[in-house]
Structure 1
C-alpha cells in the first residue's frame, strides 16, 4: 500500500519573505495601549476603558490597565475634569453644557462640582464676549439680541448669564 503524504503546509506568511524594511510590530499590551491614549490627551476612567475595549482589549484587561494607569498617576479623573472645563470654557461653552458633559464621563457629583469650582474665569464675561464677537452691533436690534440669547442657551449658559449678555452694550466699556 502506498502511504499518503499530508499536503504541504499552506502557510503564506512562512513562505513569503518579509518586505524589505517592514517588520511586524509586536502586539501592544493593554497598558501600552492605555498609555498611548493618555499621552495624546487626558481621558476619564470610563472613556479610557471604553476605548480599550473598542480596540479589542478584553473588559477585565482593560479595567486592569485603567487601574494601573490611575495608580501610577497617568490617569486622573480630577485632572481630566479640570482640563475639560478649561477647554470647553475657552471654546465658548457655558457651565450647564460643561456640567452635563462631565456627567457623561462617569464622574460623580463631587468630582464635577470640584472641577466646575476650579474654573477661575467669569461665565458672565465669557457670554458677553461671545455676543460681542458673534453679534456685533446687536445691542439695538431686538431680533439680533434674541438670536444671541438663543445661541447662548444652546451653548449652555444660564438664564441670568444669557439675559445679562444679550442686553450687553459693547460701547459701555
Structure 2
C-alpha cells in the first residue's frame, strides 16, 4: 500500500469513527453513508470489516439500541422487525435474537398504546373499531395482540 492510499484509509477510518461517535450505526448504514461521501466502495467495505472485527461497529449493538428506541415509541414487533432489517440492513437473525432477548410484553405495549390513543372506552361501532384496529396494525402489532385489547362492538 503506498503512502497516499494509507493516508486515504486513515481519513476514511476517521470519517467512520465520527459517524460511530454520533450514534451506533448498522454495517449497511455506515457503508452507505461513507460511499455517499465519495469514498471508494472497496475501501469502505475493507474499513467497515476492520471496524467490525475490532468491535467498533456491531450490528447487534446497533439493533439493541434501535429496538429499545422503537419499543419506547410503542411500536409493535412487526414494524420494528421490518425497519431494522429492510431500512437498516441488519440480518433478520440478529434482529430476532435481540427482540427475543428483550422480553417485551407486546400485548401490554399494544394495550398501553390503545389506551393512550383512544382511552379506556371500547369502540362504540364497527367504524370506530376498524379505525382502532388499523391504527394498531400500522404501528406493527400482530392481530392477536390487537384483538386482545380492542373488543369488537356488539350488534
Q: TM-score range by the shorter chain?
A: 0.7 to 0.9
TM-score by length of 1: 0.75
In structure 1, what is the equivalent of residue 142 of structure 2? 158
Unmatched tracts of structure 1, length 5 or more: 1-26, 169-173
In structure 1, what is the equivalent of residue 75 of structure 2? 93
Where has structure 1 moved over 4 Å in runs of 4 or more? none
In structure 2, what is the equivalent of residue 19 of structure 1? none
TM-score by length of 2: 0.83
In structure 2, what is the equivalent of residue 122 of structure 1? 105
TM-superposed CA distance for 1:166, in Å, is 1.3
TM-superposed CA distance for 1:121, in Å, is 1.9
Structure 2 distance, partners of 1:59, 1:129, is: 45
**Alignment size in residue pairs:** 142
TM-superposed CA distance for 1:154, in Å, is 0.5
Unmatched tracts of structure 2, length 5 or more: 1-7
Bigger radius of gyration: 1
Find the partner of 2:151 among 146, 167, 171: 167
**Superposition RMSD in Å:** 1.9
Structure 1 distance, partners of 2:121, 2:16, is: 48
Q: Which has the higher helix share?
A: 2
Higher relative contact order (CA 8 A, sep 6+): 2
Is the 8 Å Cα contact of residues 124 and 161 (structure 1) preserved in structure 2?
A: yes
In structure 2, what is the equivalent of residue 30 of structure 1? 12
Choose 136-145 or 146-155, whichever is displaced more.
136-145
Is the 8 Å Cα contact of residues 53 and 62 (structure 1) preserved in structure 2?
A: yes
Deviations 1:101-131 (A, max 9, x none): 1222333332122112122221111110001
TM-superposed CA distance for 1:90, in Å, is 1.0
Structure 1 distance, partners of 2:28, 2:123, is: 47
TM-superposed CA distance for 1:145, in Å, is 3.1
Is the 8 Å Cα contact of residues 31 and 68 (structure 1) preserved in structure 2?
A: no
Choose 79-88 or 159-168, whichever is displaced more.
159-168
Deviations 1:64-87 (A, max 9, x none): 221222122111011111222111
Asked whether 1:73 is paired with 2:83, we answer no
Structure 1 distance, partners of 2:37, 2:68, is: 29
